[in-house]
Every structure is written in C-alpha cells, then in structure tokens.
A and B are shown apart, each in its own frame.
Chain A
C-alpha cells in the first residue's frame, strides 16, 4: 500500500486540525515519558488512520492513566483492547484503542510482548479491560499480571491452545462429548 494514500476514517478523511492535535499530543507524551515511548507511527507517513504509539510494557498503565486524566488529552473511553500475532520477534502486539469523546479523536497504543512474557493489567485504569484481557488471554495466550480472574472467556475450559495465534490450525477442531464443567467457585 502506498503510504500517501489517504486512509478514510469513520469521521471522514483526516483533517489538518486533527493531525495538528495529534502532533502536539505525541510531543507532549514524549516529553512526559521519554524513553518509555518506543516509537510513534503517524498517519500520512505510515498507512494508518490514527497515530500508533508503541509503549514499553512496564509503562503502559501510567501512559493510559495520563491519557485518561490529563485535560489536553481526555481519552475517556477504552473502545477496544485486543492483540495481534505478528509472527516475528517480539511476537504479540497488545492494542489499546482510545477515544476522546469531546473532540472525537482516537489514538492507538501498542505494547510489544514476546511469547511467554506478560503485560500489566489495565483494570486499575479501565475496569472495562477485565473481559477484554480475558479474551486476549483466551485467543492469544498473552498473560496479564495482576488480573483478578484470568480465565478463558469464549472457548471451552478444556480447550488446548489459543485459536487466534497464527500457528493454530484453522481446522483445529476440538469437540467435547459433555457440556463444559461449571466452575464451583462461580456458584457462590
């Protein structure tokens, strides 16, 4: 894909105003966190619709907290928390999509995680991250440190492997003759 191709967003094409806002925000982030911001990919320089900010895994919670509570940012809505399998080292990217409702601006944070490593949980900042992190664990096998209830959320508890990993076979069927056993701790 040509990086000069404009990428359509759900709010129409990119506006100069939005680009300016992102530039000041990213420079503010770099100023505040320095080395903890690994890399920033900007729209028009890279085929993306929002800036992608790569953050070091140990700093993700403070960056999220900063973006949520600082007046110039006010990203008050965690619209998605997911992951991707990049098939190169480090293997996974955990993705945080944030939305500032006042300006309708989005920003994307990413954390690089190698296989077997874990990310600190974002529940302290975003309670909504609870189930999303369970889904990432279920589908990719990325662990979240400090998560209170890291169980599978979609697949059967007896399932082996993590189906959205690229090396999981597309037709890796696993069928169980009996219904999923109920976790006794959930019955109270």
Chain B
C-alpha cells in the first residue's frame, strides 16, 4: 500500500499469474484438414475475431505454437504426421479437437480413418458440430482458458487418473 492508500502491488500465487498470462496469449497452430478448417478461418477473421481472446497469433510452425486446433478429418495415413507435429510443439501445449470427424471419426467409420484424434494425441476440448460454428470454436477457446487458469486440463486429468489406475489410458 502507498501512503495515500492506493495499491502499488498485490500478492498472489506465481502459478496463478503464469496461468493467467498463458491463457491470454494462446498461439494456435492450425491443423485444418477439411471443411472445419474453413470455419476456423472464419473464426480467425474480423467477423468473429478470436483476437478478443488473445489467440490470434497463428503459428504455422509447431515449435512456436502452444495450441493445436485439429479441424477436420485425420486419415490413418495422416495420423503419424499429426503425432509428429504434436511432439514438435513445446510444453505447455493444448489440443482442441474441432468437429465430429476429429473427435470421433464422424460419418467415416471405415478402414482408412482414425476414430477420433484422441487415439493418437491427448485432447483438452472437444467441439461438436459438422462443422462447428465459429461461436462453438470461441466457446471452446473460453473453456480451454478456464481449464488453463485452473491449472488442470482435461488431458492432464486423464493422465493423472490413468496413472492412479482409475481410468484406462486412452493414448
């Protein structure tokens, strides 16, 4: 406190500040493979403007990104590529699975398509829809920000439960 009564500093926990900084400076890496990618582009543009949530700095290099938006179908042949790109991202990293195809395979229940990208990489937020509207993606980003602020995302929770033997490992 200063002499006149105004707050010059305040105390908090370091992880709360770090998480607050992280959640407002997400750098998405677009992994758009089909029509969901178009909705993702709309979300990035001025009509919906994901910059309001601090996630407008798109990085096409996984090494500079911390959020991967998997928008669209991931074929069996693409799955190892997705895994490689995910492994190249630096920690901490988060994944949004956008749309029915990325979340569950969608209508493509055939030999050549992964049945959900969570069989390949851990996922933090699933967005339903075929394709999801830009509002849904913004909602997903807000949900991800909540998770980041709490410090435990869905994938971390799953990992912890799997380690404790309460959940079958999904990845």
Q: Which residues of A contact B81 (CB under 8 A)?
A: 179
Task: Tell me if A187 is interfacial: C-beta within 8 Å of chain B.
Answer: no
- Candidates A168, A177, A178; contact of B111 at CB < 8 Å: A168
A-B contact pairs, 30 of them (CB 8 A): A155-B77, A156-B76, A156-B77, A163-B112, A168-B111, A169-B111, A170-B109, A170-B110, A170-B111, A171-B109, A171-B110, A172-B111, A173-B76, A173-B111, A174-B76, A174-B111, A175-B76, A175-B79, A175-B114, A175-B119, A175-B120, A176-B76, A176-B80, A177-B80, A178-B80, A179-B80, A179-B81, A179-B84, A180-B77, A180-B80
Mark interface residues in B74-99 (1 if CB within 8 Å of A CB, else 0). Answer: 00110111011000000000000000
Q: Give the Cβ gap from B80 to chain A, nearest Cβ, in Å.
A: 4
Q: Give the Cβ gap from A141 to chain B, nearest Cβ, in Å.
A: 15
- Candidates B83, B109, B110, B115; contact of A177 at CB < 8 Å: B83
Number of A residues near B (Cβ < 8 Å) is 16
Mark interface residues in B51-87 (1 if CB within 8 Å of A CB, else 0). Answer: 0000000000000000000000000110111011000
B83, closest chain A residue (CB): A177
Residue with the highest number of chain B CB atoms closer than 10 Å, among A168, A174, A178, A179:
A179
Total inter-chain residue pairs, C-beta < 8 Å: 36
Residues of chain B having any CB pair with chain A under 8 Å: 76-77, 79-81, 83-84, 109-112, 114-115, 119-120
Q: Give the Cβ gap from A73 to chain B, nearest Cβ, in Å.
A: 38
Q: Which residues of B contact A173 (CB under 8 A)?
A: 76, 111, 115
Task: Kindly state the separation between the CA atoms of A174 and B112 in the bound complex, as whole angstroms.
Answer: 8
Q: Give the Cβ gap from B7 to chain A, nearest Cβ, in Å.
A: 53
Q: Which residues of A contact B114 (CB under 8 A)?
A: 175
Task: Kindly state the separation between the CA atoms of A119 and B145 in the bound complex, as whole angstroms.
Answer: 60
Task: Kindly state the separation between the CA atoms of A83 and B60 in the bound complex, as whole angstroms.
Answer: 40
Q: Which residues of A contact B83 (CB under 8 A)?
A: 177
Q: Which residues of B contact A179 (CB under 8 A)?
A: 80-81, 84
Q: Which residues of B contact A176 (CB under 8 A)?
A: 76, 79-80
Q: Give the Cβ gap from B37 to chain A, nearest Cβ, in Å.
A: 21
Task: Kindly state the separation between the CA atoms of A180 and B80 in the bound complex, as whole angstroms.
Answer: 8
Residue with the highest number of chain B CB atoms closer than 10 Å, among A156, A171, A174, A175:
A175
> Which residues of A137-188 have CB atoms within 8 Å of chain B's CB atoms?
155-156, 163, 168-180
Q: Which residues of B contact A175 (CB under 8 A)?
A: 76, 79, 114, 119-120
Q: A174-B111, A175-B76, A175-B79 are in contact. List 15 more A-B contacts (CB 8 A).
A: A155-B77, A156-B77, A163-B111, A168-B111, A169-B111, A170-B110, A170-B111, A171-B109, A171-B111, A172-B111, A175-B114, A176-B76, A177-B83, A179-B80, A180-B80
